[in-house]
């Protein structure tokens, strides 16, 4: 029998969360980034930074080499790049978190008729078929001057389709970002140009992921304790599918785009295979 999850958090006015007003985070100093790995054409080694804010409300991902280009002299490989990020977040038992929104910052130079698409997919390793998608568009010609104007784009989730981390002491959040630039018509890169990248040396391409916290319901606590007593080291409920694959294993990511999504895949697999948004057979957010 499936166990009911705690209800969506409500703020003091009894309204479901449309922002972080009803977030109930763990105590200060109790949330840590334990490990981060990245892979993809848009994030070569040592080009990714990640940190969590002091109030535990925002995970900031810096991608200094993330960029895509369109126009004469560029190939199809230059038009789209991805960065898959695998982060282990450590927090006290009895809490869990969900992604609420994503804010993108960078620089864009887009001629009229050229657009950039920012796409992200989020899932937890404990539930790899439950995937959350965000997508936001930047259209030319608002950012014509070189090196382009700084931009900020926000994509907010539907609060009724939150996906939650395991109720335990560790959650493995996987984020795949895809940045693409293309013409809206049949220019074929002959006359129009487009670029999205870091604005300058001081403003890198970054993604600010707003998260909301809640305390676990009694059923999640009971299941986590049962798992601990069963010798699984207090891993989150659903940490093992019972088919030999440990969904909490590191350093692997579980992706529906790489064949059998139940099997672990090395991060290096993303370099050549993860060129399109993650598509799964499970739940997805509204697009």
Domain ranges of the chain: 32-273
Answer with the residue of higher pLDDT: 175 or 1: 175
As a 3-state breakdown, the chain gives helix, strand, coil percent values, each rounded to 5, of 10, 40, 50
Q: How far apart are the C-alpha atoms of 88 and 39, rounded to whole Å?
A: 15
Buried b / exposed e over 154-174, threshold 16 CB at 10 Å, is ebebebeebbbbbbbbbbbbb
The 10 Å Cβ neighbour count of residue 257 is 19
Confidence of residue 87 (pLDDT cuts 50, 70, 90): very high
Answer with the residue of higher pLDDT: 155 or 161: 155
Output phi, psi for 145, to 5 deg.
-75, 140
Confidence of residue 33 (pLDDT cuts 50, 70, 90): very high
Q: Which helix (H) or strand (E) holds 87?
A: strand 80-110
The 10 Å Cβ neighbour count of residue 55 is 11
Cα distances (angstroms) measured from residue 62 to each of 86, 130, 202, 203: 14, 25, 12, 10
pLDDT of residue 270: 34
With contact defined as beta carbons under 8 Å apart, do 197 and 116 qualify?
A: no
| For range 222-247, the mean pLDDT | 45
> pLDDT of 259-278, one tens digit each?
332 333 333 333 333 333 32
């Amino acid at each position: 029998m499936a166990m009911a999850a705690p209800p969506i958090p409500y703020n003091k006015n009894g309204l479901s969360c449309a922002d972080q007003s009803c977030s109930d985070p763990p105590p200060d100093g109790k949330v840590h980034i334990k490990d981060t790995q990245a892979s993809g054409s848009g994030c070569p080694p040592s080009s990714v930074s990640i940190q969590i804010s002091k109030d535990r409300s925002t995970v900031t991902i810096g991608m200094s080499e993330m960029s895509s280009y369109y126009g004469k002299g560029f190939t199809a490989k230059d038009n789209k790049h991805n960065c898959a990020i695998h982060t282990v977040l450590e927090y006290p038992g009895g809490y869990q978190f969900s992604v609420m929104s994503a804010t993108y910052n960078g620089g864009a130079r887009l001629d009229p008729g050229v657009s950039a698409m920012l796409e992200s997919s989020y899932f937890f390793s404990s539930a790899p078929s439950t995937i959350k998608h965000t997508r936001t568009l930047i259209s030319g010609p608002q950012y014509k001057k070189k090196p382009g104007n700084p931009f900020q784009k926000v994509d907010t989730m539907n609060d009724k389709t939150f996906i939650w981390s395991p109720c335990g002491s560790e959650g493995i959040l996987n984020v795949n970002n895809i940045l693409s630039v293309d013409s809206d018509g049949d220019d074929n890169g002959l006359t129009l140009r487009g670029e999205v990248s870091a604005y300058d040396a001081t403003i890198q391409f970054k993604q600010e992921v707003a998260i909301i916290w809640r305390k676990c319901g009694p059923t999640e606590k009971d299941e986590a304790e049962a798992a601990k007593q069963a010798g699984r080291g207090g891993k989150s409920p659903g940490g093992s599918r019972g088919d030999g694959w440990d969904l909490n294993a590191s350093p692997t990511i579980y992706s529906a785009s790489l064949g059998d999504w139940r099997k672990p895949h090395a991060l290096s697999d993303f370099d050549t295979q993860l060129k399109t948004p993650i598509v799964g057979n499970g739940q997805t957010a509204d697009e």
